[in-house]
Amino acid sequence: MTNNHVIADADEINVILNDGTKIKAELVGVDKKTDLAVLKFKPPKPLVSVKFGDSDKLRLGDWVVAIGNPFSLGGTVTAGIVSAKNRDISSGPYDSYIQTDAAINRGNSGGPLFNLDGDVVGVNTLIISPSGGSIGIGFAVPSKTVAGVVDQLRQFGELRRGWLGVRIQSVTDEIAESLNIKPARGALVAGVDDKGPAKPAGIEPGDVVVKFDGKDVKDPKDLSRVVADTAVGKEVDVIVIRKGEEQTKKVTLGRLQDPDKVQAAVKTDEPAPEKPVTQKALGLDLAVLNKDLRTRFKIKDTVKGVVVTNVDANSDAAEKRLSAGDVIVEVAQEAVASGADIQKRVDQLKKDGKKSVLLLVSNADGELRFVALSVQ
């Protein structure tokens, strides 16, 4: 067994059976996100296949068996238990691994992970180890994910992931308090792609997605996974919380394209403009966005709002990584055009007994995010 990269680049693909027979194979398709590939070949004799089990039914502590080819030693079997499910190890946007303490070493990748019924519940993928050998922390792609990838590779020769067309971020306790959401949950929509499926469906920045196609969304990772696993072109119900109330939006999913965005910063030697008139609020120096400030901070013409010209190093704003050149677009989900607008909204929130204020902030390129700042 070899990895997808080698398979895809090889001039000749060979499958070696247990008895040593070498067979030429054709690459049907490969998905580099999950390191899974589908090969087509004609065996000299009928082969016995294994079937996929239901990885969703695995429980912590269930016994599992891993088979692989560690260190080129041939078929090797190790046993262990399921240590965790839906494990996110920050290796990609769709992380949802089965973690097991069955010994997995170099060469095990691509081997099956069986339950005690002999069904494949995962495909061994990687380990975490300071030494390079097994320390009992191994990971497998769940069979539910594998089966979906294999079906698409067979049908299309490539993987077609669903696309909603939104940028999302976590709902912190402060953001949840600002949006009247209890408890904190869901995926906060920070931006909507103008050409994406979410736009015509009426999904807006500030919406919090809490359910997608009948599945609960606890955090942004949940939404990324469920959208990617949903068929392109399917119409789904998306439940969002907007201003404290649930709304249902119908969205027809698009297809996610591989991003190829390489942006280079453009430097300028223009002299700094005169210092603008500023107003202080929330530990920020704020100014009306004009032509000079756009040039100074390289802010796109499409960005509207109040520009931050300085941040108090000891403020909550600095801790939340606001910086000069950021543009405040909305305060408490209302558009602002001056520092006075922002101060007015903050004063009202204090009067209403709010502990924090929710800002919609844009960077110079127009990418949005939500930031909750303390008003105490």
Cα 200 to Cα 249: distance, rounded to the nearest angstrom = 10
Nearest to 286 by CA among 257, 241, 317, 258: 317
Cα 54 to Cα 308: distance, rounded to the nearest angstrom = 52
Phi-psi region of 151 (alpha: psi -120 to 50; beta: other; left: phi over 0): alpha
Helices (H), the chain: 4-9, 143-156, 173-178, 198-201, 220-229, 291-297, 316-319, 339-351
Q: Which one of the listed residues 35, 62, 119, 292 is annotated catalytic? A: 35
Cα 35 to Cα 255: distance, rounded to the nearest angstrom = 20
Cα 142 to Cα 112: distance, rounded to the nearest angstrom = 10
Identify whether 35 is a catalytic site residue.
yes
Q: Which one of the listed residues 55, 83, 96, 109 is annotated catalytic? A: 109
Q: Which one of the listed residues 5, 54, 151, 170 is annotated catalytic? A: 5
Identify whether 237 is a catalytic site residue.
no
Report the half-sphere exposure of 123 (CA within 13 A, side-chain side): 19
Identify whether 54 is a catalytic site residue.
no
Longest dimension (CA), the chain: 82
**Which residues belong to the active site?**
5, 35, 109
